[in-house]
């Protein structure tokens, strides 16, 4: 509580006390009381008034500081009116009831927004599922009727499938625990699956793949991990160097308590000033504005978001010679010991 501002608000009370003291002193002096007695009475009055005002300030300060601390501890500040103790002062009760009414109105608004958001998310998921059927049928028709035209259409069908998958995973990314299944799997199983899902994109741009496969295993969800790798593959193709063939290299390494999976490309790289922000939502950077006009800035943001949900570290290193994206998996020795027993 602001002390000077509080005492400024008490200034009318202080001036009234002073005026009353002066009036009483004049009345007593005119009544024949000696000056010493009048001075003693005024001194006692001033002392009692000062103690009362200071007591009021201290109590008020403690009450408001406790209220501020309660508000700081609440994750949703608009619930303050529901948990704060009811005041005893009449003027405070008015503000208390106003605060409760405002909080309840906010709760109603939040509930309405949550319902609309949930309905919209459900609609998007249903829409994506409905779209995947004709996309799969279109890819199958092109594969069963090979021709120059179908070969040109297959990468487009694959891109449409990629964007619908992105929309679906984005809708589910808030609560992926309702969808994922954590189990032990070979580290390179999702790598091969992600490559297969993007085969027409890789063939169209004549990408050379180098997979330095190992026998490592990790605990994760294969479907979500495959989606993350597909996003990284798509980014590598999107930001390829125009003057040299694109090479994507998958490699793994084991360290103390962790296993890392790296995807290295020889593309145009990421400018140093853009590197700290590539995982920000909607950030496209210099490359996104120049090399990929259709960049949305959602791919790496979504990868980072899903990696945090899956407890996977995601980091990027880049230079003009290319970019390396690294996924870091924790190795839980306790699980291996239990399985060994």
3-state secondary structure the chain: CCHHHHHHHCHHHHHHHHHHHHHHHHHHHHCCCCHHHHHHHHHHHHHHHHHHHHHHHHHHHHHHHHHHHHHHHCCCHHHHHHHCCCCCCHHHHHHHHHHHHHHHHHHHHHHHHHHHHHHHHHHHHHHHHHHHHHHHHHHHHHHHCCCHHHHHHHHHHHHHHHHHHHHHHHHHCCCHHHCCCCEEEECCHHHHHHHHHCHHHHHHCCCEEEECCCCCEEEECHHHHHHHHHHHHHHHHHCCCCCCCCEEEEEEEEECCEEEEEEEECCCCCCCCCHHHCCCCCCCHHHHHHCCCCCCCCHHHHHHHHHHHCCCEEEEEEECCEEEEEEEEECCHHHHHHHHC
Question: How many domains, in total, are found in the chain?
Answer: 3
pLDDT of residue 317: 93
- Model confidence pLDDT, tens digit, residues 248-258: 999 999 988 89
- Model confidence pLDDT, tens digit, residues 87-107: 777 777 888 788 888 878 878
* 92 part of a folded domain: yes
pLDDT of residue 164: 83
* 254 part of a folded domain: yes
pLDDT of residue 108: 84
Among 131, 161, 179, the domain-final residue is 179
The answer to whether the CB of 218 falls within 8 A of the CB of 187 is yes
* 79 part of a folded domain: no
* 259 part of a folded domain: yes
Average pLDDT rounded to a whole number, residues 160-169: 81
pLDDT of residue 298: 82
Among 130, 154, 179, the domain-final residue is 179
pLDDT of residue 334: 42
- Do both 295 and 192 map to the same domain? yes
- Do both 128 and 56 map to the same domain? no
Kindly indicate the confidence band of residue 126, based on its pLDDT and cuts at 50, 70 and 90: confident
pLDDT of residue 177: 61
Percent of the chain past pLDDT 70, that is, above it, reads 92
pLDDT of residue 341: 42
* 219 part of a folded domain: yes
Q: Which residue has the higher pLDDT, 107 or 301?
A: 301
- Do both 198 and 289 map to the same domain? yes
pLDDT of residue 336: 45
Among 179, 202, 223, the domain-final residue is 179
The pLDDT mean for the chain works out to 84
- Do both 161 and 191 map to the same domain? no
Percent of the chain past pLDDT 90, that is, above it, reads 22
- Do both 226 and 151 map to the same domain? no
- Do both 173 and 269 map to the same domain? no
* 31 part of a folded domain: no
pLDDT of residue 335: 44
| 208-211 and 247-255 strand pairing | parallel
- Do both 108 and 212 map to the same domain? no
* 80 part of a folded domain: no
- Do both 58 and 122 map to the same domain? no
Task: Give the closest residue to 303 by CA, choosing from 217, 206, 203, 176.
Answer: 176
- Do both 303 and 258 map to the same domain? yes
- Model confidence pLDDT, tens digit, residues 170-187: 777 766 666 678 889 999
- Do both 158 and 90 map to the same domain? yes
**Domain containing 275 — which CATH number?**
3.30.565.10
- Do both 137 and 224 map to the same domain? no
- Do both 237 and 316 map to the same domain? yes
Domain that holds residue 16: 1-26+39-73
Range with top average pLDDT, 35-44, 138-147, 259-268, 326-335: 259-268
* 2 part of a folded domain: yes
Task: Give the closest residue to 21 by CA, choosing from 10, 13, 7.
Answer: 13
* Gap between the Cα atoms of 202 and 210, Å rounded: 13
């Amino acid at each position: 509580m602001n002390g000077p501002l509080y005492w400024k608000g008490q200034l009318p009370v202080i001036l009234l006390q002073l005026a009353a003291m002066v009036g009483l002193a004049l009345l007593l002096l005119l009544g024949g009381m000696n000056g010493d007695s009048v001075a003693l009475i005024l001194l006692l009055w001033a002392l009692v008034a000062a103690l009362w005002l200071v007591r009021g300030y201290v109590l008020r300060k403690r009450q408001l500081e406790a209220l501020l601390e309660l508000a700081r501890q609440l994750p949703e500040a608009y619930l303050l009116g529901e948990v704060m103790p009811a005041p005893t002062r009449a003027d405070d009760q008015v503000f208390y009831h106003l605060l409760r009414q405002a909080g309840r109105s906010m709760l109603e608004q939040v509930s309405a927004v949550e319902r609309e958001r949930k309905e919209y998310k459900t609609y998007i998921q249903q829409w994506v599922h409905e779209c995947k059927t004709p996309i799969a049928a279109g890819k199958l028709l092109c594969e069963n009727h090979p021709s120059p035209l179908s070969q040109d259409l297959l990468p487009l069908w694959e891109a449409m499938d990629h964007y619908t998958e992105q929309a679906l995973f984005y809708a589910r990314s808030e609560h992926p625990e309702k969808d994922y299944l954590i189990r032990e799997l070979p580290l390179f199983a999702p790598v091969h699956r992600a490559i297969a899902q993007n085969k027409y994109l890789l063939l169209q741009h004549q990408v050379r793949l180098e997979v330095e496969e190992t026998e490592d295993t990790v605990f994760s969800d294969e479907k979500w991990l495959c989606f993350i790798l597909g996003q990284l593959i798509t980014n590598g193709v999107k930001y390829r160097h125009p003057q040299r063939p694109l090479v994507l290299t998958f490699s793994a390494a084991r360290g103390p308590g962790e296993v890392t999976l790296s995807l290295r490309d020889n593309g145009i790289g990421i400018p140093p000033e853009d590197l700290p922000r590539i995982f920000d939502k909607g950030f496209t950077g210099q490359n996104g504005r120049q090399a990929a006009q259709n960049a949305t800035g959602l791919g790496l943001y979504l990868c980072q978001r899903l990696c945090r949900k899956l407890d996977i570290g995601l980091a990027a290193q880049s230079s003009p010679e290319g970019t390396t994206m690294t996924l870091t998996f924790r190795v839980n020795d306790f699980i291996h010991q239990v399985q060994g027993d």
